[in-house]
A and B are shown apart, each in its own frame.
Chain A
């Protein structure tokens, strides 16, 4: 009798487990898992929240709409994320794990050019398409990878050409060029030197510095002695405030002050106050771009109680929008998805975007300027929201 009871109980438990497992499987197939690595620690950790916030905002919005549409069905988006410690090699290992072990459905990009460069071979090996965002590299573009695209208009060669034109248009005849040794700055420098020469702009100081620099007094003393019309600091978020603070102390009188990455992040003007005024930086977007842009800005401010990074938050969000639209058309089949991204036209918070090769060739390369605490687009003139102002005081 006892044996029969045990048998019945065992069969019952087995059926329950089997049903639970089927239900769990059904539930898991309804979830769309998107993987990425993020620099939560290390030298890029200062910059990465701008990207992660944009991802979180997009996920919240998509799930709020009932999920991402894949082949006619809506699936809730779930993130699988790991800290890459700002280490590109670690990021490459993580992307391989995401594809092979975690078997994610889709990928989002990590932060920064070195990390994008490091994971590209992994994407190529597994034929896994991914939309890059906070990065661009001419060297990578020349390799013509087939599974990564860059939403930015800030490819180093285009930045160099546009910056030289802007300097020329504003009567700058000489500059000091200070370059952080990280790849993006170095690549821009490589294109900037000939572009400046072609524009007839002399480089009076040309120095490089490591990413972990603690003091720029010696460097800026040289700049002060050279007295150029402009300073082009090809810096990153960790060292950009250091440049501005010490340039203020030393009263660098150059009226064109360009700081590559950092001024578009919300903390920058809060930290530096009036010293940040009239600093020019990389970026081609303001909330005035279109109605979607304003909605993105408002939603970001409402969710995070701070302004989005006009460069990285924007690019990250745009990459999500493109992925969403491409998946909506092609589903999760990697070949179809790759074709959809490569040949599609996408409506985003940064306007219409299409790719030629790996590059967004529709959006114009632009520059922003901090004017009275607000970022204004000052280049190209046709898309400017305000006129460029020379920096006359710190």
Chain B
């Protein structure tokens, strides 16, 4: 058993799960953190990214690693469009902003149903898949298909880039200011509109890229998004709503719990482990692992 737990293969599996969770949850938490919008259609953006990559590969022969640029731009454009067309005016109205959290849940749920069914209508519910970088690469004792390795590497790199952007770039700092203190950010001259648009662009773009990476390792179907949304929500709540670093920490923790927990017990305990951790964190630290308790004066 110890030999199994110490194996690099298991570590890679935990890392792979964590990287995917991180990339998906990052976008979700960014949109929530800056605007308090609960995007339950986030997984459907992943699905759309997956389909875009599949069709780019199947119809035009564009390799997924090149299609990443297309899906990222497509996702970003969709984010900018959604912000401009649907949410900009809503967020500008103070009365609507007060109810935005509950209303956004309903709005995005409706959007999710529409997107899923339109996808089923357009692509049929038949799963689609393609073979890409399927050769096994050996790194020490770890064996992994080229596609999975590339997907994990790209996911990690993108998470690092987003984190660096949020910490170093002026727009990233503006977005963080919005997460920390929305009203105070406005007082000190942060361009709220620009920061909100950037959150949508980044959130939707990373989700679409996650779709590309997922399609490199598994089949895509119109209804693949919902379980992804659920996993992302678990990560976001574990890490703390609006806490970007917390999201990354929670994603890798969840990946490790799933992988090592299953290795130590049985795969049938997966849900108990995941949701056990979830409930424990909610009871012990309701603000999330790296969240801060809100002080109301």
| Interface residues, chain A, with chain B CB atoms under 8 Å away | 40-42, 45-46, 48-50, 52-53, 181, 207-210, 212-219, 221-222, 225, 237, 241-242, 245, 248-251, 265-267, 270-275, 306, 394
Does B143 lie at the interface of the complex (its beta carbon under 8 Å from any beta carbon of A)? yes
The 9 A-B residue pairs with the shortest CB-CB distance in the complex, in nearest-first order: A271-B129, A218-B263, A209-B267, A217-B13, A273-B131, A49-B126, A49-B125, A267-B127, A45-B223
30 contacts between A and B (CB under 8 A): A40-B120, A46-B219, A49-B124, A207-B266, A208-B268, A210-B270, A215-B16, A215-B258, A217-B12, A217-B13, A218-B4, A218-B263, A218-B267, A219-B267, A221-B10, A225-B4, A242-B218, A245-B148, A248-B136, A249-B136, A250-B9, A265-B127, A267-B219, A270-B129, A270-B130, A271-B130, A272-B129, A272-B134, A273-B131, A275-B134
Which one of A45, A210, A273 lies within 8 Å of B221 (CB-CB)?
Answer: A45
Contact B271 A210 (CB under 8 A): yes
A217 (CB) vs chain B CBs: closest residue: B13
In-complex Cβ contact of A245 among B217, B221, B258, B262 (8 A): B217
Which of A41, A216, A250, A265 has the most C-beta atoms of chain B within 10 angstroms of its own C-beta? Answer: A41
Please determine whether A222 and B124 come into contact, CB atoms closer than 8 angstroms.
Answer: no
Residue numbers in B under 8 Å from A210 (CB-CB) = 267-268, 270-271
Name the distance in Å between B233's Cβ and chain A's nearest Cβ.
Answer: 15
Count chain A CB atoms within 10 A of each CB in B218, B223, B270 and give the residue with the most. B223
Residue of B nearest to A274 (CB): B134
Instruction: Tell me the complex Cα distance, A13–B223, Å.
Output: 49
Judged by a CB distance under 8 angstroms, whether B285 is at the interface is: no
Contact present for B13 and A215 (CB under 8 Å): yes
B287 within 8 A of A: no
- Name the B residues within 8 Å of A273 (CB-CB): 131, 134
Asked if A249 contacts B143 (CB within 8 A), the reply is yes
A219-B263 Cα distance, complex, nearest whole Å: 7
Does B110 belong to the interface (CB within 8 Å)? no
Please, how many angstroms separate the alpha-carbon atoms of A272 and B219 in the complex? 10
How far is it, in angstroms, between the C-alpha of A42 and the C-alpha of B222 when the chains are bound?
A: 10
CA distance A270 to B226 in the complex (A): 24
Residues of B within 8 A of A46 (CB): 125, 127, 219, 221
Partner of B259, one of A42, A218, A241: A218
User: In the complex, A210 Cα to B262 Cα: how many Å?
Assistant: 11
Checking A45, A207, A214, A306 against B125 with a beta-carbon cut-off of 8 angstroms, the contacting residue is: A45
A217 with B219: CB separation less than 8 A: no
B227 within 8 A of A: yes
Known: A215-B17, A273-B134. 15 other contacts (CB 8 A): A45-B221, A46-B127, A53-B126, A181-B268, A209-B268, A210-B267, A210-B270, A210-B271, A237-B127, A245-B218, A248-B145, A249-B144, A267-B129, A275-B134, A394-B136
Task: Mark contacts of B257-286 with chain A using CB atoms, 8 A cut-off: 1 yes-contact digit, 0 otherwise.
Answer: 011101100111011000000000000000
Q: Which A residues are in CB contact (< 8 Å) with B268?
A: 181, 208-210
Most buried by A among B130, B143, B219: B219
Nearest CB of chain B from residue A194's CB, rounded to whole Å: 22
Chain B nearest CB from A215 CB (Å) reads: 5
Chain B stretch 201-240: residues in CB contact (< 8 A) with chain A: 217-219, 221-223, 226-227
| Chain A residues whose CB sits within 8 angstroms of the CB of B226 once the complex forms | 41
CA of A383 to CA of B136, assembled, Å: 36
In the assembled complex, which residues on chain B have CB atoms less than 8 Å from the CB atom of A275? 134
Q: Quick one: CB contact mask for B128-139 with A, threshold 8 Å, 1 for yes? A: 111100101000
With both chains docked as a complex, state the minimum distance between the C-beta of A386 and any C-beta of chain B, in angstroms. Answer: 23
- The answer to whether B262 touches A218, judged by C-beta atoms less than 8 angstroms apart, is yes
Most chain A CB inside 10 Å of its own CB: which residue of B131, B148, B226, B227: B131
**Across-interface contacts of A218 in B (CB, < 8 A):** 4, 10, 13, 259-260, 262-263, 267
| Of the residues B12, B116, B219, contact of A271 by C-beta under 8 Å | B219
Residues of B within 8 A of A266 (CB): 126
Judging by beta carbons under 8 Å apart, are B10 and A270 in contact? Answer: no
For residue A246, give the distance in angstroms from its CB to the closest CB of chain B. 8
Cα–Cα distance between A249 and B146 once the two chains are bound (Å)? 10
| B128 A213 Cβ-Cβ under 8 A | no
Chain B residues near A221: list those with CB within 8 A.
Answer: 4, 7, 9-10, 263
Q: Let me know if A241 and B219 touch, CB within 8 A.
A: yes
Q: Which of A46, A212, A217, A394 has the most CB of B within 10 A?
A: A217
Contact partner of A40 among B125, B136, B267, B271, CB < 8 A? B125
Query: In the complex the two chains form, what is the Cα distance from A122 to B101 in whole Å?
Result: 42
A388 to B129, CA, bound (A): 27
Partner of A208, one of B136, B227, B266: B266
Which residues of A lie under 8 Å from residue B12 when comparing CB positions?
217
In the complex, the answer to whether A241 meets B129 with C-beta atoms within 8 Å is yes
Chain A nearest Cβ from B71, distance in angstroms: 19
- A207 to B4 CA separation, bound complex (whole angstroms): 16
A28 and B131 CA atoms in complex are apart in Å by 48
Which residues of B sit under 8 angstroms from A272, Cβ to Cβ?
Answer: 129, 131, 134
Contacts of A48 in B (CB 8 A): 125
Name the distance in Å between B219's Cβ and chain A's nearest Cβ: 5
State A225–B271 Cα separation when bound (angstroms): 26
Contacts of B145 in A (CB 8 A): 245, 248-249
Contact, CB under 8 Å: A241 / B263: no
Smallest beta-carbon distance B12→chain A, Å? 8
Query: 1/0 per residue B7-48: CB within 8 Å of A?
Result: 101101100110000000000000000000000000000000
